[in-house]
Amino acid sequence: MMSKCDSHWNLSLNHLQSITFNIKSDLIHQCERIAMIEQVLDASPNLSSLVIAWRDFRHCSRKYLNLKYVHLLLNGKYKNPKHYFDIRRLNELVPHLYTLETSDSVMMLNKNLIEFILNISHQFNQLVHLVLNKNCLNGSRDKKKLKFRDKLIAASHDQIFHGYNMHFRFYGYDELRFWF
């Protein structure tokens, strides 16, 4: 979706390597937020690390080939992670992603999350590190974590993760970290 808000900034942020857009206010209209974000991203050819709300980033209009690390700020608590973000759209925006993190949401430990993890690993063939539910305060019981782990292991035996093994671990409550 192209932004319909005009902007006339003349930015040059050649030395910028990392930026966080944590715009929580809805007082700024969406088209203005997106225009501002696109201006900064377009003016930052050496930017490799980005923290941003998915609700804004998904509307950006071009590919960002230089981005290697993206931390998506999500919203809500759903049983199906497809409600959080579109994996294909993220791959269109950031095709050379090495690290993906998500926070500000709780992705429930269920079969939908297992399918989501497998889809992420297939869409991003350069992905090395995946963190879901970063700094999550939702705590599942150990029994549920073990059951989830066993189901993920069973589901991933038939999958090829770029020719490498997948390692994962729970950190804290329901934070999941994967290494491919």
- Dump pLDDT digits (tens) for 151-180: 888 887 755 454 456 778 887 788 889 988
Tell me the pLDDT tens digit for each residue of 56-112: 999 999 999 999 999 999 876 666 767 778 999 999 999 999 999 999 887 888 888
* Sheet of 49-53, strand order: 18-21, 49-53, 69-78, 99-107, 129-134, 175-179, 167-171
Domains of the chain with CATH codes:
18-179 (3.80.10)
Q: pTM of the predicted model, to two decimals?
A: 0.85
